[in-house]
Amino acid sequence: MNAKYDRIGLGYNATRKADPYLFERLHALLNPDPKGIYLDVGCGTGNYTKEFDKLGLSFVGLDPSQEMLTQADTGENSITWVQGNAESLPFVDAYFDGVACTLTIHHWSDLTHCFKEVYRVMKPQTRWVIFTSDPVQMSHYWLCHYFPDLMQKGIDQMPQIPKISEALTAAGFVETGRETYSVREDLQDLFLYSGKYQPERYFDEDLRRGISTFSDLAHATEVKTGLERLRQDIDSGEIKHVMDRFHYDGGDYLYMVAQKE
């Protein structure tokens, strides 16, 4: 994973910015105490971590990629940046007043083990907010029509929601809430389904480079062929029918909230 994100990190901030709405929900669900100290696991270049910092909150950003952390550490904030991974969190027990992680748990090698690590470093009566995508949700992305093999690989690596719930319980957490998110047209964090309503976005090589599904799982031939088909359907108007066929009311991503009792 380090090498993957050292590569992705080279142009990551060109397309991956903190989205105001997603941050507002992340902040509301975490409900951080101004006096507490919090952890962002898999923080990447720290776009969401820095939004918390702007509110005067104390945060530690942890990521396995040194390239990501080098971009994160601009010296313009009070965040502590730490290289490390969820498999072995380099912190003492019961240190944090809460944890956040966005679009990262699908990279964790063993959910239950990693969740126990998160549990270990949290204080009692504190909250963990996870932002992720369910394989069922991903199967309704219209991207599946144009990039079926790529999307299947992405779906296969994404933990199923029941598996996440099982791992949370096994680690000692109590799941306290879920909230679905459907991509909005003004989305600023250009992750995988950010082009839901703006298919032209996928022709941007920088955007694809900042999405691990494209940059790490894709075969060049499928991407080329898929983009050619997408261009034809945009020009002909067929893309509207494809989007309609993939319409889904269950959201595109979701937040999961867990409590350490």
Measured distance CA(203)–CA(227) in Å, rounded:
7
Residue 246: name the closest of 176, 169, 143 by CA. 143
**Residue found under tokens 């060109």:** 14
Pull the structure tokens for residue 49: 């971590």
Alpha carbon distance 253, 181 (integer Å): 5
pLDDT at 34: 97
Q: What is the CATH number of the domain that holds 140?
A: 3.40.50.150
- Of 10, 14, 8, 2, nearest in space to 66 by CA: 2
How would you write the pLDDT of the chain (261 residues) with one tens digit per residue? Answer: 544 455 554 455 567 899 999 999 999 999 999 999 999 999 999 999 999 999 999 999 999 999 999 999 999 899 999 999 999 999 999 999 999 999 999 999 999 999 999 999 999 999 999 999 999 999 999 999 999 999 999 999 999 999 999 999 999 999 999 999 999 999 999 999 999 999 999 999 999 998 989 988 989 999 999 999 999 999 999 999 999 999 999 999 999 999 999
pTM of the model: 0.93
- What region does 111 belong to: left with phi over 0, alpha with psi -120 to 50, or beta? alpha
d(CA 126, CA 106): 23
* The pair of three-digit structure tokens given for residue 255, joined into one six-digit string: 């937040």
| Contact of 120 with 95, CB cutoff 8 Å | no
Residue 2: what pLDDT? 47
Query: In the chain, how many domains are there?
Result: 1
- The answer to whether 76 and 20 are in contact (CB under 8 A) is no
3-state helix, strand, coil in the chain (%, to 5): 50, 20, 30
**Domain residue limits at 147:** 2-260
User: Position of tokens 């894709």?
Assistant: 218
Q: Give every CB contact of residue 182 below 8 A, 6+ residues apart in sequence.
A: 251, 252
Task: For residues 21 and 188, give the distance between their C-alpha atoms in angstroms, rounded to a whole number.
Answer: 9
With a CB cutoff of 8 Å and minimum separation 6, the contacts of 99 are: 38, 39, 40, 41, 118, 121, 122, 126, 127, 128, 129
